[in-house]
Amino acid sequence: MTATLERGLNALREQIDAPVASFFTSCVSCGLCAEACIFYKETGDPELTPIHKLDLMRRVWSNEYTLFGRAKSMLGMGHKITEGDLTKWERLVYDSCTMCGRCTLVCPVGNDIAMMIRKMREGMSSSGHAPAELVGAAERHSDYGSPMGKLHTMLAAKIKAAEKETGIPIEMDKAGVDYLVLLSAQEIVEYSDVLPALARIFKKAGVTWTISNEGFEATNVGVQIGNRDIARNLVSMVVGAAEKLGVKGIISPECGHAYQALRWEGPNLIGRSYDFEVVHIIELLDRLAAQGKLKTKGKDHTRLTFHDPCQINRRGGINKEPRRLLDMVADNFIETEDAGTMNWCCGGGGGVGANDRAADLRFKAFNRKKRQFEGVGAEKVVTMCAYCHHTLDEQLELHNMDSIETQGLTEMIGEYLDDEA
Amino acid sequence: MADQPMLPELMKAHGISRRSFLKYCATLTSAMALPPMLAPKIAHALESARRPSVIWLSFQECTGCTESITRSYAPTIEDLIFNAISLDYHHTLQAASGHAAEAARKQAMEANWGEYLVVVDGSIPTKNEGYSCIAGISNVEMLKETAEGAAAIVAVGTCAAYGGIPHADPNPTGAVAVGDIVTDKPIINVPGCPPIPIVMTSVLAHFLTFGLPELDDLGRPKAFYGETIHDRCYRRPFYDKGKFAESFDDEGAKQGWCLYKLGCKGPTTRSVCATVKWNDGTSFPIQSGHPCLGCTEPDFWDNGGFYKPLSTPAGDYRKFAAAAVAGGAALGVAGGAIGRANKARAARAHETVDAHDLEKKS
Amino acid sequence: MNNPYFDLLMWARGPGFDIALTILIGGLLLRVVEIVVLSRKKDLAKPKGSPVLQGLKTIFTRSVPRKGLIKEAPVTYIGGYIFHIGFAIAFLFLGAHIALIDDLIGIQWPEANKALIETAAALAVVALIALAWTRITNPVRRALTTFDDWLVWLLSILPLVTGYIAVNRIFGDGTLMMAIHMLSAEALMVAFPFTKLMHAVTFAMARYYNGSIQGRKGAES
């Protein structure tokens, strides 16, 4: 099968529902969404206005989902979508949007623009207009279980190393435990210090857990590229593993879109509710701390700040949890301007980080974070998403700021875990 | 006509001093919005004017206009001025009737051919000439015949000026205004139901002294119909403050607040009621607590109801609104259903893809 | 003889109003029902917050701008507020308009004085001019602007200006200006279902959906 314009349009047609119709009906073209968009703010390019990025989907809605638009189309006044339009919009829908959702929160009429970008990507991907890197990642993920290829051997090695470091055995594919732990490829490859941290925290808290060889990958390229068939397959791997092992819950690791994919999109992709819970690792750690099962000792005295991952805070609702945890382990924690719900995106999410074409945009967008970090004189940035973490590392280096240390919050909690208590 | 007394003699006979006559002339001057220095000229003109012959024709009317011009404090100066003309025919006022009266009219016309003034009150039926006849002569016929030798015509009252109440929907008699029948003579419209007495006499005075007054697009003397009642209303400050009577017996009505919400047509009605007033300057409808009906305007009877505020819809919009609710909802359901069908069709056309289908393969 | 101005006024109060009201109500209902019928799939993810409550809450809270955003687009925000509030005061508190609303739906409230209404209307006009200015000068707004935006702008400013002229007899025949004012408002009613003016109704739906999507996740909206 091959991607075609018609299949792309068909996919767009499938995406239009009452919320989308109400959003397009309500838009007054005020342009305030642009003021919230990191890509517009840092480039000043009016083409990057969020609502403009949805113009093709707006046309489908207008031409096919309104009586007035249908009448106009019949009179030959409908604005049709061409292959050329789709090519032009690739840059707008993939390169310059991380689906961070700041626009969604400032729109005065309440349009959920980020949600519509997710929908529009369905049409873009089905028409063959997704970035090559994301297509490659989707193929690898589907074929080998992870967007970075076959990581089973590497995972086994990292687990062995963690066991060695902590002296705590980590049993793979163990049925009947409390939680199935998922990891993002980024964590397996780049930030595997999270594994020993998890082992120690859970041992202390009395939480039983396992990792499945059949579904350990938390990320979901299908959600990023915008293709629900692929997203469904990928989420099904994990759900299948969880159900097979009979766990009480799945732990969504420090990864933004993975949390969206597993927690919020997953049930809708597979068409049924889960029998188990999906909990973000930071949510769980906060819960354990509240129950007195997570105790720390000592504090980090570095001047540190926290970077909120868009998909976990703004679009995931996990806001106070990381701050409560940080207060346990840091005494020089300072918030940047707009921190929390309206935090500025790192510029790498939503597949932008994997997209070579977007390298320049990503660099420019990071100027915002740069100013914010400089503004508070941060020596260290903590976050709770491995891909934000990765982007921070990449961009801090490119902006000659690599004196600033970065760390995942789980790993940091592990560092200050009170093993004695 | 030489045997008829001139005005100074009449004044003497009625016991009116020259002083009060001059005062009246000043009033007229101001009522006609003329510069005050013209008052003596008016006095002189009235004093020396030859009394023109006036033929007063009453058609489909209620005699209200005649009542208005005659029923006032006697002897008024208006009344006097009326005596200054030679009212040769007025079938309500004259003693003669029937053929004798008609003979008087014909005689007056012949004697003053081309110079007499015709005053008309009442509208003219056109559906059936028999609807209104005088001595067997239909109104249309009498008007045409009388107008032929007239110097000018004064259409007194809204019926004569614009058709008035007989003209009101559904206009059973096919009533029309004087101007609809006579098109080749100067016509001065003095509308009102009835017009204010001094306005009528002032118009006559103006005609006697300066000829035809300046008229607006509706044939009304601008001096008396230049401003709206709302512009000059003493209750206007309440309108501006947003203080309105909501009913005829509420606190607002007692406080003398604006009657807009009770349907006052002051804002669209041009007349000097609010300044000249009625009954010797005693009062006018709004002052006595009733909204203006807009009687100096054409079709005032059909202008959306006397007690409906000007800003409210005049039509039967509720039935349209009900139809719109039903129609809009039905179309909405249809539009939504078409959308859903479109979406279902797209879902059927959906071919499940895997990651290897995301590229264009040629 | 007819008074053409009064005839125009009577047309505006009669057939004109009937036509405008029919199109307004019918078109509005059509567009809202069309959206509702399209519906959305039930969300199967177990909610963390309350989608319904937060949806309803967002209808109101979204009227307040996010912290810091006003300074990013001061004219759009402040102009937008002044226009909406000014238009609302001028429309809702003039005695003649209250009489209209009372006639339509049988409810009424106290009138404001002319000074307040005219200040509000004047400010709304100034705000509209400022908003038009940014539509021309701001690259984002210029790029987003279509014919629809200018049409709606014109139809919004006309009733304010003609209303002011009619009440104050600035020029023209009072009756004619009143008729023109009514016709301008009727033009606004007719255009309503076909233009972005629809936002005045569907904003509540959009905000509700936005709030409910965010609320399900326990996120702010």
Per-residue pLDDT band for B39 (boundaries 50, 70, 90) equals confident
Q: Provide, rounded to the nearest whole percent, the portion of chain B with pLDDT above 70.
A: 92
Contacts of C89 (CB under 8 A, 6+ apart): C112, C116, C117, C120, C121
Delimit the CATH 4.10.480.10 region(s) of chain B: 229-302
**Domain B229-302 annotated CATH 4.10.480.10:** yes
**Domain C4-40+49-216 annotated CATH 1.20.950:** yes
Q: Give the orientation angle of helix C174-191 with respect to helix C17-38, to 10 degrees.
A: 20
Between B90-104, B348-362, C54-68, C113-127, the lowest mean confidence (pLDDT) is in B90-104
Q: Measured between alpha carbons, how far is A362 from A98 in angstroms, rounded to an integer? A: 10
Residue extents of the structural domains in chain A: 5-130, 136-290, 304-415
- The residue behind tokens 């976990």 is A312
Contacts of B177 (CB under 8 A, 6+ apart): B123, B124, B155, B159, B160, B161, B162, B163, B164, B167, C1
Q: Is the peptide bond before B170 cis (omega within 30 degrees of 0)?
A: yes
The pLDDT of residue B81 is above 70 = no
What does the pLDDT read at residue B92?
A: 76
What does the pLDDT read at residue B206?
A: 83
Closest CA to A177 of A208, A212, A215: A208
**Tokens found for residue A258:** 């993975």
Q: Measured between alpha carbons, how far is C28 from C30 in angstroms, rounded to an integer? A: 5
- Domain A304-415: which CATH class? alpha beta
Per-residue pLDDT band for B74 (boundaries 50, 70, 90) equals very low
B1 at interface of C, judged by CB pairs closer than 8 A:
no
B312–C100 C-beta distance less than 8 A = yes
What does the pLDDT read at residue B140?
A: 95
Chain C residues close to B324, C-beta within 8 Å: 21-26, 29
**Domain A136-290 annotated CATH 3.40.50.1580:** no
What does the pLDDT read at residue B2?
A: 42
Q: Measured between alpha carbons, how far is A66 from A61 in angstroms, rounded to an integer? A: 7
Q: Measured between alpha carbons, how far is B340 from A16 in angstroms, rounded to an integer? A: 9
Report the pLDDT averaged over residues B184-193: 96
- Domain B7-223: which CATH class? alpha beta
Three-class SS string for C162-208? HHHHHHHCCCCCHHHHHHHHHHHHHHHHHHHHHCHHHHHHHHHHHHH
The pLDDT of residue B89 is above 70 = yes
What does the pLDDT read at residue B83?
A: 65
Report residues of chain C scoring pLDDT below 70: none
Q: Per-residue pLDDT tens for B271-280?
A: 999 998 988 7
Whether the pTM exceeds 0.90: the reply is yes
Contacts of A123 (CB under 8 A, 6+ apart): A8, A9, A11, A12, A15, A56, A57, A60, A86, A226
The amino acid present at B246, given as its one-letter code, is: E
- The residue behind tokens 């990503």 is A362
Q: Nearest by CB to A109, which of C139, C194, C206? A: C206
Q: Which residue has the higher pLDDT, B90 or B123?
A: B123
Per-residue pLDDT band for B184 (boundaries 50, 70, 90) equals very high
SS3 A333: strand
**If one looks up domain A5-130 in CATH, what number appears?**
1.10.1060
- Subunits close to B (at least 3 CB pairs below 8 A): A, C
CB atoms within 10 A of CB A371: 13
Residue extents of the structural domains in chain C: 4-40+49-216
Q: What is the nearest CA distance from A65 to chain B, expressed in angstroms?
A: 5
Between A25-29, A42-46, B76-80, B141-145, the lowest mean confidence (pLDDT) is in B76-80
What does the pLDDT read at residue A151?
A: 94
DSSP line for A15-69: H--HHHHHHHHH-----HHHHH-HHHHHH--GGG-GGGGGHHHHHHHHHHH-HHH
Show pLDDT as tens, one digit a residue, over chain A (421 residues).
Answer: 788 999 999 999 999 999 999 999 999 999 999 999 999 999 999 999 999 999 999 999 999 999 999 999 999 888 899 999 999 999 999 999 999 999 999 999 999 999 999 999 999 999 999 999 999 999 999 999 999 999 999 999 999 999 999 999 999 999 999 999 999 999 999 999 999 999 999 999 999 999 999 999 999 999 999 999 999 999 999 999 999 999 999 999 999 999 999 999 999 999 999 999 999 999 999 999 999 999 999 999 999 999 999 999 999 999 999 999 999 999 999 999 999 999 999 999 999 999 999 999 999 999 999 999 999 999 999 999 999 999 999 999 999 999 999 999 999 999 999 987 6
In this prediction the ipTM stands at 0.96
B360–A4 C-beta distance less than 8 A = yes
Q: Nearest by CB to A52, which of C31, C144, C213? A: C144
Q: Give the orientation angle of helix A5-15 with respect to helix A113-126, to 10 degrees.
A: 150
Cβ distance A391 to A399 under 8 Å?
no
Q: What mean pLDDT, rounded, does chain B reach?
A: 88
Domains A5-130 and A304-415 share a fold: no
C-alpha dihedral (A201, A202, A206, A211), degrees to nearest 10: -170
Measured over the CA atoms of residue A368, residue A370, residue A371 and residue A372, the dihedral's sign is: positive
What does the pLDDT read at residue B99?
A: 83
b/e map B258-292, b = 16+ CB within 10 Å:
bbbbbbbbbbbbbbbbbbbbbeeeeebbbbeebbb
Label the pairing between strands B137-138 and A179-181: unpaired
Q: Nearest by CB to C35, which of A21, A28, A274? A: A21
Q: Which of A29, A118, A312, A318 best tests the C interface by mutation, with the highest count of C CBs <10 A?
A: A29
